[in-house]
Amino acid sequence: MRTKLFLNQKVEKMLDKQDHIIAGISGGADSVCLLFVLLEWQKERAFRLEVVHIDHGIRGIKSKEDADFVKALCKRHQVPFHLYQYDVPELAKEEKLSLEETARNCRYKAFEEVRSLVGGTKIAVAHNKEDQAETILMNLVRGSGLAGLSGMRAIHGKLIRPLLGYSRKEIESYLLERNISWRTDSTNLETKYTRNKVRQEIIPRLQDSLNHQAVEHIVEAGQHVLKAQEFLIGESVIRAKRIGKMQDEQVWLGRVILLQETEIMQEYILRQWLKWLGAGLRDIGMVHIGQMRALAAGHSGKQIDLPGDYVCKCTGEFLVLRKKLIVTERGEATPLVMQGETRYGKWRVFTEIEPFVNQEIQEKKYTKWLDYGTMTATAHVRSRQEGDYFYIAEGSKKLKKYFIDEKILEESRSQIPLIAIGNHIIWIVGHRISERCKVTAETKRILKIQIVEDSYEPKD
């Protein structure tokens, strides 16, 4: 009976009739198997298929022979073929990365380029069960958290791994029984590469000395870890929303509530909010999480820098996460040009005066409509000053008190442009206007003010 790699329920979720698959095919046993399995499944699913082959510039004439081999396979089965060539050794030197990491970056760059070019929906790669075990072991040795110990995902965004549940033995049996040939990459035997060392030395020793089913057990352990990881992520999403909120591109976390959570849940909550804030999690290590937790438990006023130009600050009862501020030169207060444009630092301010004919006044963050009749003197664009105030329904309010109530950090306050007449702030840009300048039924003319960053054209 011939070996069959089934289109099982898990794989069915990967492939759809509307899909356009970009398959990475090197010419080795795993990737050749992937190509033929996709061709076999294509009969049932009728998805579109294209192949990408990468010449890494490492094996000379052998690389060309690999490319010719894959090209011929694609021609025989009428599959579009794309060849990409990179000088990986030279790129590794320039980027100060290992050959392995550079080669991987080149592969996925090529896959994504073709996917974008042809309108592909998914990228298929040929990782198998042994690759999974190797990945889990390498992540364990490197000091990974649960995400790394759970290994690779069969479906990860646009990336799919249809053979992840199958062993090399099953893959090679599939090919041999069908008289399908493949290429052997001699660099896979060189133990100077980390993965090859794990593959050629460490896993065989585990199988021979401890348990011949070591690979299966490592993969099973990874699946259990994945379940725990998914549970913790789900719980952290629920708790993160309860503990914190996003306001003006800053995350405010209640310190007391955060510290009441278990240590591992604190870690997941912090990572979840960093993700929502837009910070890349790849460079956020346990040392940074530990520093953030210590900050939450410490005295107000302290701050730490995080990878990716983010900071974490302890202020009052809150732990605040935000992007680092870029301080711009604002200069002196600048008179606001009426019916025209005013430049102030990185900002452009546009004004128009027009009759008020009972039109609806919209609520916008960076465009406001004011009662022009309240402009009793020259307005200026400037940053905050001592003694600044504005009006709310109940009376006047100090600008400093407003900033405190709105939890705007001290270092952020000078970055907020203001439209002011003397110390009367008629508009805290990005926030609210003074109650005394609001458009009412008695308004005769309105002043429309719009503020944009220098690189943008004005629009409503």
Nearest partner of 79 among 125, 25, 129, judged by Cα: 25
* Cβ pair 135, 33 in contact under 8 A: no
Q: Give the pLDDT of residue 236.
A: 94
* Cβ pair 32, 75 in contact under 8 A: no
* 3 state DSSP class of 401: helix
Q: How many CA atoms lie within 13 A of 355 on its CB side?
A: 1
Across the range 112-139, mean pLDDT stands at 92
Q: Give the pLDDT of residue 457.
A: 46
Q: Give the pLDDT of residue 334.
A: 86
Q: Give the pLDDT of residue 333.
A: 84
Distance CA 154, CA 8 (A): 13
Other CB atoms within 10 Å distance of the CB of residue 341: 11
Which residues fall within 8 angstroms of residue 157, CB to CB, at 6 or more apart? none
Which helix (H) or strand (E) segment is 453 a member of? Answer: strand 445-453
Q: Does the pLDDT of residue 421 top 80, yes or no?
A: yes
* 3 state DSSP class of 250: strand
* Cβ pair 115, 153 in contact under 8 A: no
Residue at token pair 């909010």: 273
Distance CA 217, CA 137 (A): 12
Q: Give the pLDDT of residue 192.
A: 65
Q: How many CA atoms lie within 13 A of 37 on its CB side?
A: 31
Q: Which amino acid is at 355?
A: P
Across the range 68-74, mean pLDDT stands at 94
Distance CA 59, CA 22 (A): 24
Other CB atoms within 10 Å distance of the CB of residue 74: 20
Listed range (59-73, 256-270, 314-328, 436-450) with the worst mean pLDDT: 314-328
Helix, strand, coil percentages (3-state) for the chain, rounded to 5, are 40, 20, 35
Which residues fall within 8 angstroms of residue 326, CB to CB, at 6 or more apart? none
Which residues fall within 8 angstroms of residue 359, CB to CB, at 6 or more apart? none
pLDDT tens digit sequence for 9-31: 455 678 888 899 999 999 999 99
Q: Give the pLDDT of residue 454.
A: 67
Question: What does DSSP assign to residue 193?
Answer: S
In the numeric block, which tokens belong to residue 176?
């041999």
In the numeric block, which tokens belong to residue 208?
């021979």
pTM here is 0.66
Q: Give the pLDDT of residue 6.
A: 57
Q: Which amino acid is at 263?
A: E
* 3 state DSSP class of 85: strand
Q: Would strands 380-382 and 334-335 be described as parallel, antiparallel, or unpaired? A: antiparallel
Residue at token pair 């010419």: 27
Q: Which amino acid is at 86?
A: Y
DSSP string, 334-350: EEPPTTSEEEETTEEEE
Domain with CATH 3.30.465.60 in the chain: 223-323
Q: Give the pLDDT of residue 26.
A: 92
Domain with CATH 3.40.50.620 in the chain: 9-212
* Cβ pair 310, 323 in contact under 8 A: yes
In the numeric block, which tokens belong to residue 247?
């306001």
pLDDT-above-70 percentage for the chain: 92
Q: Give the pLDDT of residue 256.
A: 93
Burial of 266 (0-12, 13-18, 19+ CB in 10 A): buried
Q: Give the pLDDT of residue 254.
A: 93
Q: Does the pLDDT of residue 2 top 80, yes or no?
A: no
* Band (455; pLDDT cuts 50, 70, 90): low
* Cβ pair 121, 21 in contact under 8 A: yes
Listed range (32-36, 61-65, 254-258) with the worst mean pLDDT: 61-65
* 3 state DSSP class of 312: strand
Burial of 145 (0-12, 13-18, 19+ CB in 10 A): middle
Distance CA 127, CA 165 (A): 9
CATH number of 9-212: 3.40.50.620
* Cβ pair 388, 400 in contact under 8 A: yes
Distance CA 251, CA 265 (A): 17
* Band (92; pLDDT cuts 50, 70, 90): confident
Which residues fall within 8 angstroms of residue 37, CB to CB, at 6 or more apart? 5, 162, 163, 174
Please state, rounded to an integer, the average pLDDT across all residues of the chain.
Answer: 86
**Phi, psi (deg, nearest 5) at residue 222:** -60, -35
* 3 state DSSP class of 417: coil
Listed range (19-33, 255-269, 281-295) with the worst mean pLDDT: 281-295
Distance CA 426, CA 417 (A): 11
* Band (74; pLDDT cuts 50, 70, 90): very high
Q: Which amino acid is at 307?
A: P
Across the range 345-359, mean pLDDT stands at 84
Q: Give the pLDDT of residue 458.
A: 43
Domain 223-323 falls under CATH 3.30.465.60: yes
Distance CA 453, CA 460 (A): 14
